Copies of this chain bind each other. A is one copy, B any other.
Amino acid sequence: MEVAILGATGLVGQIFVRLLENHPWFKIERLVASERSKGKKYREIAEWVSDDTGDIEVESLEDFLKNPDVDLVFSALPSSIAGKVEEKLAEKIPVFSNASSHRYEDDVPILVPEVNADQLKLIEFQQEQRGWEGFIVTNPNCSTAILMLSLKVLSEFGLKKVNVATMQAISGAGFKGLSALQIFDNVIPYIEKEEWKIENESRKILGFDFEMSAITTRVPVSHGHTEAVFVELSEDISVEELRKAFDSFDPLKKLKLPSYAKPIVYKEIPQPKLHRKLGNGMTVTVGRLEKIGKKKFKYVTLGHNLVRGAAGGSILNAELSYRLGVIK
């Protein structure tokens, strides 16, 4: 399938390109960015790419929209412009979006294949309701995406309550998001709308209500969001049972999706520098699991914010859709 990447020159856009080079199902045909990059060869922006991708001339969003002749669109657009552009494209083409613009609409899935593959069924409803031939599928906010995998396992035992404190990497704020003097030697416990996103996306993804509260912070780490999690369940299981549930969680193994990796790996002391690249960035790490009371546990999880938390998640969504025949 021929694909276009919107926002191809940003941090997330570049990860889309990196992950889609040599993809067995999807072929990068068009790279779309702002007017500023229009006409440049992609290798001027990202010198590590293959000859084929490097030769692609970046086009402006305006030009692309005049003739969006691809089978599939990946969107890494800023939320401020993603809303309308994605709607326009979805009239004809499937759009897999990393932007938050449509996440909270009832007929748009926030998809994490290992967690809520069943929400793909929303697409039919979305198409009917909106009269579209294409559709929009979103992936969650980065820190939510990383957290979802362990919460899915926990939900098997009746998830009642979650307190989570995140330590998020600089790259989550975009290339120019944080000045060096702001974050150097610092922890900044404020990320705009992030806590709201984690709390609300989590409930929509898991599909049931539970108590959840997040404190989100930015720390001087390049890539990889770490999250300290306290949970309360409705069943009283042992730490061994839970550990076993984490270890055996491998729900989509049989589908052989190209980007799929074992979703959770357990390490005694999970650390972003050591573990963010596991499973080519698609695996999250869980560790330091302890039982802290009847039905209560604490643990630490982490994952690559730009892969599992952004581009990689979106690609896995497209792979699932393709495998299940939702896109043809």
Complex: A230 Cα to B232 Cα, angstroms = 14
Q: Is the Cβ of B187 less than 8 Å from the Cβ of A272?
A: yes
Is A222 located at the chain interface by the 8 A CB criterion? yes
Identify which of B177, B217, B270, B273 contacts A189 (C-beta below 8 A).
B270
Given contacts A179-B178, A222-B181, A288-B215, contact A186 B272 (CB under 8 A): yes
* Contact status A213-B293, CB under 8 Å: yes
A175-B179, A189-B300 as given contacts; A293 in contact with B228, CB under 8 Å: no
A185 within 8 A of B: yes
The docked-state distance in angstroms from the alpha carbon of A219 to that of B228 is: 13
Cα distance A97–B292 in the bound complex, in angstroms:
30
Interface flags, A175-204, vs B, CB<8A=1, else 0: 111111111111111100000000000000
User: Does A61 touch B at the CB level, under 8 Å?
Assistant: no
Min CB–CB distance A239 → chain B (angstroms): 14
Interface of A is mostly: mixed
* Inter-subunit contact A180/B185 (CB<8 Å): no
What is the bound-complex CA distance between A269 and B187, given in angstroms? 10
A220 interface residue, CB < 8 Å from B?
Answer: yes
Provide the residues of chain B in CB contact with A220, threshold 8 Å. 180, 184-185, 219-221
Minimum C-beta distance from A151 to chain B (A): 16
Whether the Cβ atoms of B180 and A215 lie closer than 8 Å is: no
Q: State which of B182, B213, B269 has its C-beta within 8 Å of the C-beta of A296.
A: B213
The residue that A182 contacts in the complex, of B180, B228, B272, B300, with Cβ under 8 A, is B180
A179 nearest CB neighbor, chain B only? B176
Q: Is A18 among interface residues, defined by CB-CB distance under 8 A?
A: no
A245 within 8 A of B: no
Query: Given B11, B171, B217, B296, which contacts A167 in the complex, CB threshold below 8 Å?
Result: B217
Q: Smallest CB–CB gap between A177 and chain B, Å?
A: 7
A160 at the binding interface (Cβ < 8 Å) = no
A236 → chain B closest CB, angstroms: 16
The answer to whether the Cβ of A287 comes within 8 Å of any Cβ in the partner chain is yes
Residue of B nearest to A188 (CB): B271
Contacts of A176 in B (CB 8 A): 179
> Could you say which residues of chain B place their CB within 8 Å of the CB of A292?
213
Cβ–Cβ contact B177 & A179, under 8 A: yes
Set of chain B residues within 8 Å of A5, measured between Cβ atoms: none
Chain B min CB distance to A289 (Å): 11
Interface membership of chain A positions 284-309, coded 1 if the CB is closer than 8 angstroms to chain B and 0 otherwise: 00011000110010101010000000
Q: Which of B11, B165, B180, B274 contacts A178 (CB 8 A)?
A: B180
Question: Would you mind naming 6 contact pairs between A and B with Cβ atoms under 8 Å apart?
Answer: A170-B181, A181-B222, A185-B220, A211-B293, A215-B300, A217-B300
A contacts, CB < 8 Å to B:
11, 163, 165, 167, 170-171, 173, 175-190, 211, 213, 215, 217, 219-222, 224, 226, 228-230, 268-274, 287-288, 292-293, 296, 298, 300, 302
